[in-house]
Amino acid sequence: MKKTLVLLSFNEIEAAPKVLGTVPLQAADEVFAVDGGSKDGTIAFLESKGLRVVLQKERGRGVAFRMGMEEAKGDAVVFFSLDGNEDPADIPKLFAKLEEGADLAIASRMMRGAHNEEDDQLFRLRKWVNLAFTLIANLLWNRGPYVTDTINGFRGLRKTAFEKMNPDAKGFVIEYQLSIRAMKLGLKVAEIPTRENPRAGGESTAKSLPTGVVFLKQLWREIVLGRDFAGR
């Protein structure tokens, strides 16, 4: 199975130079970056390292996932963000899950053996909200083993599965939409425990409250849509 690694970036000039050197590029047959329109030199930095950079026409992680999938020549595609949150050692493990037959392979921050950025704090609002959204998706649509982290962006997908899911989310809700649609379609979802690290520099663009509202709207939309999302 041919493997493609897609690196995701948007204004990551502080983090990307620290992260890129730790990425096992040889784990994939093809590697390129998809960038959301960085204005801070990220694109020039990636190109200086010999990487092909696909430029998005419109911002958003959902847009980036679709462009990455369109450009990917591999059947197994892993998405990795260059902000330092994700453990690069898990990239080969995600590819392995896809090769073993998973349609969607998620690096989980919530399962046994995993670590969430908030686990060192007593008050873990983001984690609890994430767990609630995950519980609802499992209750409504999952007929297979419980999926512990429906939201993490660090994941791999088979190209054929992505096409069936036909996701149209533009921003940070893309991963939740993909997880929900994998469940609706009865696709095979596999998870590996991961360790979420703090950002390696720079700033997040995922603001909690607006992102939560977008998640609620998406959840409602997926309830209304049911299985009516193919071929759009």
Ligand X SMILES: Nc1nc2c(ncn2[C@@H]2O[C@H](COP(=O)(O)OP(=O)(O)OP(=O)(O)O)[C@@H](O)[C@H]2O)c(=O)[nH]1
Q: Which of residues 170-229 bind ligand X (CB under 6 A)?
A: 199, 204-206
Q: Does 191 bind Mg ion (CB under 5 A)?
A: no
Distance (Å, rounded) from C-alpha 40 to C-alpha 227? 41
Residue whose C-beta lies closest to ligand X? 36
Q: Coil, strand or helix: which one is 24?
A: coil
Distance (Å, rounded) from C-alpha 84 to C-alpha 71? 24
Backbone angles phi, psi at 219, to 5 degrees: -60, -45
Distance (Å, rounded) from C-alpha 185 to C-alpha 215? 20
Contact 157, 51 (CB under 8 A): no
Nearer to Mg ion, 20 or 183 (CB): 20
Distance (Å, rounded) from C-alpha 154 to C-alpha 159? 16
Q: Does 34 bind ligand X (CB under 6 A)?
A: yes
Report the nearest approach of ligand X to the CB of residue 143 (Å). 29
Q: Which of residues 82-101 bind ligand X (CB under 6 A)?
A: 82-83, 85
Contact 77, 69 (CB under 8 A): yes
Report the nearest approach of ligand X to the CB of residue 183 (Å). 22
Identify what 127 binds: Mg ion, ligand X, none; CB under 5 to 8 Å per kind.
Answer: none
Among 3, 27, 53, 83, binds Mg ion (CB under 5 A): 83
Choices 8-16, 130-138, 139-147, 215-223; region in contact with ligand X by CB under 6 A = 8-16
Q: Does 169 bind ligand X (CB under 6 A)?
A: no
Task: With residue 177 as reference, give the H or E element that holds it.
Answer: helix 174-184
| Residues at the site binding ligand X, with contacts judged by CB under 6 A | 8-10, 12, 34-36, 56, 59-61, 64, 81-83, 85, 199, 204-206
